[in-house]
Chains A and B, each alone.
Chain A
């Protein structure tokens, strides 16, 4: 007996199979392979019907080239499928034109990446990269079957999508990627440090190809996006960001979790319709990364207060610059607020602004906000304690500090027991100092 039959008996499959065989004897028409293909076809049809514009008549398999405009390319490692697209300078992506994303400030981009090398390049040196993979499990068994790339060239945005139509095309596809990458100076991704570049590096090794991808300076947008925009997002996925920050609404977008199974189905059926939505999804991701880069750079450089950035974005950006020790940048952002003193700021934002003023040595402005906050009932500990500290240590006006603390304790306030204790302690010290005199 074949070992596989023994194995099936161990796993209990044979019992099932016997039943199926028995059924087949009764209905001899259904050969197993055919049933399997039919089931698959049916699944494809249900998937397709969800996106009406791609609806086609039943049971007609579509070649890839009929669905996606692309060509087969051959290099020394074999063949693969390449889709090229130029997003012209006047195309819109959400609320902005593509040309507005061009020529972003490289010093700011370097700040975002926390990698000073990048400041020496220009925006057309950037290679935007996003992959679609056979899973999220990580490890050597996951393949990037579609590699989406983008770059600025002569005012337009170029998109290249490299598809390995089968595992056998991966090597040629990766080689093509490495050729394009060798002409670029730095990478821009969204979560590429933890995922895409890691995974591609693994695949280069498995295919015995050299790759400098991991060595390229790398701006991973995930981290700065979280820092600057995270406060107003429900999650940090690129699609969420697009919608909530720059108004891109994707129609019929394929959910990410569906992508691996679609590719596995494609491997079996070679029905191009399965891949169409993946190409579009990937293309939008690549373009979004370009506009997102420009957007983050604008906030960081305090370019203008557009309706798509809010005050808290700027405050978060200023804090980011502060950790990168870029006093000039922080100054620039803070100057926006000076011009219009932001009366509509929330308490929280005012606090953040005051902290920034304090940390950059602009105490007068900080004090102004603290006073403003201290005048609002119920009073919060932050403003009172900062003001008291300032009065006591800077102004050396112990009298005023005492009055402030005393009043605050008697006023309507939001103090916790600890905060109360700390104020009482301060008061005691101030009283002692007063007696010394």
Chain B
């Protein structure tokens, strides 16, 4: 077979009729020339020579600007695309300062160890060329104990991650006296990663860092870099709690890119079902790889990564029977060694196809891939561009294809390609004053330095917290100070990234004499991923879960060769605890506040590989999980609904469908993952709620504390409750989404209405109100009518 180049391959694709028919947009992003400026005069001559030798005769305009700002002590946030020379913006002023004054210290923060290592290599090679006595070290969990002392004393530039700063550096700040006393620059790369829960924790770690710097009399300059988001400056200012200057005009030239939005064909007009995004992804990927075009395929979930990897491995096993890494998966659960192997395989082109979760989205050096396929909208515009940027970072034409799934978010993009290509409407949201998160960090901060009366930390009343902790016996108050008075080490009690730092390890018992740990699953996901009888997919092998031992935090599995995988079913029941704010709007009472959420995994579906056919159900018996969080909700009076000319069962279906649409649109508004927010239909007391059962919608109502479950068709006690739709934060204490949604109530409803009305399906589909089988045949008709009641 004659192999095609990427240009030839794209040309051929454009001639393909059926492909063109389904392409929602084909956009040629032209190459853009650069905008340069001379080096500032003060730049050290040998530093300049080293940079010039690397081909940087001049600085990009944005680099020159950044360097000038930073030199003047201005905190900045840089927002420029991948491969626009961001790192030089901070490396130049940092190296210059150290050359000027060798005591100067800098701290670099990267969200992952892998990125830190990567950056380390880059700056190290600069310093080697410079032949200067500047010491750079990574300091993380892998740093050997005997090297740590000299790193603390001698390192000019310390490269680390927020977790290490939180648990390893700040609680031992006296050992880092030299660093903190001379700390002039703090670099925070990939700032947009610090949003939601992680961001809320991170902002508190920065509060602690600033507090420690103040103790040593240091007032460092913050240099932040972010991918393109709507509110980089606001976000940076919220994290740093100070004003920052925004630099967002890139002067770097860019190479040409073909960007295609592809919407798989509708295969069942009746049900509004489109072909699964996995199918075209698989076909396009294998064709590209066969043509020797190195390709990265992003999937939106762990499960999809494994399923796609299996499909592609099956495909290439004939050509490359022995080469296990020719196409391979890549995700968080893989052990570090395997991941390093894959990364280097990508650089050497031994790996020609990699299927990844967003783990490879960030700037880990995997060389220049040519094509990128996104199986489903990654959830945000920023992620989409980051993922697309993994193809063709520096040279030549590259290709990016976004394949839509049948959900409202993806379909919204396909319907509005301009929105996608022209705008960046997403915001990074954090809530550093989430009470639980704040409490953890007040404890850690008290461990690091006693709190003085009148000190500020966060926006809540600090003294109240300190008194509370005193009452709990972990702080001790002297006249004007609160001291840490416990034996524990508070930073170990919290993980910055996970809701719950506990993990379940997956143990492979296939070989009876040699049990092996193959993966870790966080405790919360374990309920849906490794419940008894589940099929767990790992490294494209299938494992049957024999037992989930929650006490021992272990899941015992053995290898199987099944033709199906499993998908867990859960129910969610929400009860209002406290309403913070409310108003009446048309036919509804709109509120936001605090709720209690009870979740339970009740069973699972068996789904056949390739055909996605439903092969049956199983029960799961796991404890309920209880969480307090914040929510936005609205309640519709039951008599208003009875005005509509539909049966109660149809109305319930319609409301469920509306909740479905609203959840997805909320994610779009919030730049949140659809997993960060959740939905429920019930009533405010939690006495009555709707969930999806094995064969259809089920209504649960509590009668004297006992749940009674009824099929929707019989509509049990439907006239006794005022239905309420909840859209809530999936994190205890909330991340601050609900108040925003409360303010967007009217906009959300109009967007939902227009999405549903514009959708070409007949009776509702996953792209608008949810799959017809789940929502019922009248949903598409009824939802606009319900919305009609709700907007004036």
User: Which chain A residues have a beta carbon within 8 Å of chain B's beta carbons?
Assistant: 1-4, 6-7, 9-11, 134-141, 143, 166-168, 201-202, 205-206, 260-261, 264, 267
Residues of A within 8 A of B448 (CB): 140-141
* A202 CB contacts on chain B under 8 angstroms: 174-175
- Distance in angstroms from B433 CB to nearest chain A CB is 9
Q: Complex Cα distance A424/B73, Å?
A: 76
Q: How far is the CA of A383 from the CA of B461 in the complex (A)?
A: 77
Give Cα distance in the complex from A261 to B487, angstroms.
Answer: 8
In the assembled complex, B171 has its CB within 8 A of some CB on chain A = yes
In the assembled complex, the CB of A226 is this many whole angstroms from the nearest CB of chain B, namely: 18
Say whether, besides A140-B448, A141-B447, A3 and B461 are in contact (CB < 8 Å). Answer: yes
- Rounded to whole angstroms, the CA-CA distance of A290 and B556 in the bound complex is 56
Within 8 Å CB of A1, what residues of B?
578
Q: Write the chain A residue with the least CB distance to B491.
A: A139
Residue of A nearest to B465 (CB): A4
- Given A2-B464, A168-B479, A267 contacting B485 (CB threshold 8 A): yes
What A residues does B175 contact at CB under 8 A? 202
Measured between C-beta atoms, what is the minimum distance from A165 to chain B in Å?
10
Q: Please measure, in the bound complex, the distance between the C-alpha atom of A14 and the C-alpha atom of B184, giving whole angstroms.
A: 45
Asked whether, in the complex, the Cβ of B478 is within 8 Å of the Cβ of A168, the reply is: yes
Interface size on B, residues (CB 8 A): 39
Whether B310 is near chain A, meaning CB under 8 Å from some CB there, is no
**B48: CB under 8 A from chain A?**
no
C-alpha spacing A6/B464, complex, angstroms: 12
- Interface flag for B257 (CB, 8 Å): no
Closest to B577 in A: A9
- Name which residue of chain B comes closest to A8, CB basis: B468
B483 at the interface (CB under 8 A from A): yes
Query: Could you list 4 further interchain pairs (A-B, Cβ under 8 angstroms) beyond the known A9-B628, A264-B485?
Result: A10-B628, A10-B732, A140-B449, A141-B447
For this complex, 5 residue pairs linking A to B, each with C-beta atoms less than 8 Å apart, are A3-B460, A137-B487, A206-B449, A264-B473, A264-B485
Q: 7 closest Cβ contacts across the A-B interface? A: A141-B447, A135-B487, A141-B484, A168-B478, A202-B174, A139-B171, A167-B483
Q: Which of B174, B464, B486, B487 contacts A140 (CB 8 A)?
A: B174
User: Cβ of A11: which chain B residues have Cβ within 8 Å of it?
Assistant: 436
Q: How far is the CB of B595 from chain A (nearest CB, A)?
A: 11
Give the residues in chain B near A137, CB-CB below 8 Å: 487-489
Give the Cβ gap from A32 to chain B, nearest Cβ, in Å: 10
B733: chain A residues at CB < 8 Å are 10
Q: In the assembled complex, which residues on chain B have CB atoms less than 8 Å from the CB atom of A3?
A: 435, 460-461, 464-465
A134 with B485, Cβ < 8 A, contacts A4-B464, A168-B479 known: yes
Contact of B435 among A10, A168, A260 (CB under 8 A): A10
Which of A2, A4, A135, A141 has the most C-beta atoms of chain B within 10 angstroms of its own C-beta?
A141
Q: How far is the CA of A261 from the CA of B473 in the complex (A)?
A: 11
Min C-beta distance of B217 to chain A, whole Å: 11
Residue of A nearest to B170 (CB): A140
* Chain B 707-766 interface residues, beta-carbon cutoff 8 Å to A: 732-733
Q: Which residues of B contact A260 (CB under 8 A)?
A: 487
Task: For B489, give its contact among A6, A139, A143, A261 (CB under 8 Å).
Answer: A139
Q: Are A206 and B476 in contact (CB under 8 A)?
A: no
Q: Which residues of A contact B578 (CB under 8 A)?
A: 1, 6
Instruction: Name the residue among B177, B436, B478, B732 with the largest chain A CB count within 10 angstroms.
Output: B478
B476 CB contacts on chain A under 8 angstroms: 166-167, 264, 267
Inter-chain contact B479/A264, CB cutoff 8 Å = no
B174 → chain A, closest Cβ, in Å?
4
- Which residues from B are CB-within-8-Å of A2? 461, 464
Residues in A with CB closer than 8 Å to B450 are 167
CB within 8 Å of A: which B157-210 residues: 171-175, 177
Q: Quick one: which of B172, B446, B464, B485 has the most chain A CB within 10 A?
A: B485
List the A residue with the shortest CB-CB distance to B172: A139
Scoring B172, B461, B484 by chain A CB atoms within 10 A of each residue's CB, the highest score goes to: B484
Contact A140 B172 (CB under 8 A): yes
Shortest Cβ gap from A137 to chain B (Å) = 4
A141: chain B residues at CB < 8 Å are: 171, 446-448, 484, 486, 489-490
A9 to B465: give the CA distance in the assembly, Å.
14
**Chain A CB within 8 A of B140 CB:** no
List residues of chain B with CB under 8 Å of any chain A CB: 171-175, 177, 435-436, 439, 446-450, 460-461, 464-465, 467-468, 473, 476, 478-479, 481, 483-490, 577-578, 594, 628, 732-733
B481 touches A168 (CB 8 A): yes
A135 to B175, CA, bound (A): 18
CB distance from B49 to the nearest CB of A (A): 41
Determine the distance from Cα of A167 to Cα of B480 in the docked complex, in whole angstroms.
11
Which of B174, B473, B478, B628 sits near A166, CB closer than 8 Å? Answer: B478
Given known pairs A137-B487, A141-B448, the reply for A9 and B594 (CB within 8 Å) is yes
Tell me if B460 and A134 are in contact (CB < 8 A).
Answer: no
Q: With the chains together, A11 CA to B471 CA distance in Å?
A: 15
Interface residue from B464, B483, B486, B732 paired with A135 (Cβ < 8 Å) = B486
- A351 vs B468: C-alpha distance in the bound complex, in angstroms? 64
> Is A7's CB under 8 angstroms from B439's CB?
yes
Cα of A202 to Cα of B447 in the assembled complex, Å? 12
Is B483 touching A7 in the complex (CB atoms < 8 A)?
no
CB distance from B666 to the nearest CB of A (A): 22
Residue of A whose beta carbon sits closest to that of B167: A139
Q: Closest B-chain residue to A166, C-beta based? A: B478
Check B435 against A6 for contact (C-beta < 8 Å): yes
Tell me, rounded to whole Å, the shortest Cβ–Cβ distance linking B579 to chain A.
12
> Given the complex, which residues of A lie within 8 Å of B177, measured CB to CB?
205
Is the CB–CB distance between A136 and B487 below 8 Å? yes
Give, as a whole number of angstroms, the nearest-CB distance from A214 to chain B. 11
Q: How far is the CB of A275 from chain B (nearest CB, A)?
A: 15
Q: How long is the Cα–Cα vector from A201 to B172 in the complex, in angstroms?
A: 12
A9 to B575, CA, bound (A): 14
| B174 close to A6 (CB less than 8 A) | no
Q: Please, which residues of chain A bring their CB within 8 A of the CB of B487?
A: 134-137, 260-261
**Contact A205-B464, Cβ < 8 Å, known A6-B435, A10-B436, A134-B487:** no
Look across to chain B and name the residue whose beta carbon is closest to the beta carbon of A6: B435
Name, among A168, A202, A260, A261, the residue most crowded by chain B CB atoms within 10 Å (CB to CB): A168
Residues of B within 8 A of A201 (CB): 174
Chain A residues within 8 Å of B467, by CB: 4
CB < 8 Å neighbour of A7 from B171, B174, B435, B488: B435
Chain A min CB distance to B627 (Å): 9
Pick from B174, B464, B468, B488: contact of A206, CB below 8 A.
Answer: B174
Kindly state the separation between the CA atoms of A246 and B26 in the bound complex, as whole angstroms.
Answer: 87
Residues of A near B732 (CB, < 8 A) are 10
CA distance A28 to B171 in the complex (A): 44
A206 to B467, CA, bound (A): 22
A416–B350 CA distance with the chains assembled, in angstroms: 47
The minimal Cβ–Cβ distance linking A315 to chain B, given in whole angstroms, is 29
Distance (whole angstroms) from the CB of A79 to the closest CB of chain B: 12
Complex alpha-carbon distance, A285 and B485, angstroms: 24
What is the minimal beta-carbon distance from B180 to any residue of chain A, in angstroms? 10
For the complex formed, measure the closest distance between the CB of B582 and the CB atoms of chain A, giving whole angstroms: 16
Q: In the complex, what's the smallest C-beta–C-beta distance from A205 to chain B, in angstroms?
A: 4
> From B175, which residue of chain A is reached at the shortest CB distance?
A202
How far apart are the CA atoms of A11 and B627 in the complex, in Å?
A: 9
Q: How far is the CB of A411 from chain B (nearest CB, A)?
A: 40
Of B435, B476, B487, most buried by chain A (CB within 10 Å of CB) is B487
Q: Which residues of A contact B171 (CB under 8 A)?
A: 139-141
Chain A residues whose CB sits within 8 angstroms of the CB of B628 once the complex forms: 9-10
- CA distance in complex: A140, B487 (Å): 12
B617 CB to closest chain A CB, in angstroms?
33
How close is A333's CB to chain B, nearest CB, in angstroms?
32
- A135–B447 Cα distance when bound, in Å, is 12
Q: Which of A4, A136, A140, A205 has the most CB of B within 10 A?
A: A140
Shortest Cβ distance from A400 into chain B, in angstroms? 48
Which A residues are CB-close (under 8 A) to B484? 141
Q: Are A7 and B577 in contact (CB under 8 A)?
A: no
> B residues within 8 A CB of A166?
476, 478
Chain A residues positioned under 8 Å from B436 (CB to CB): 7, 10-11
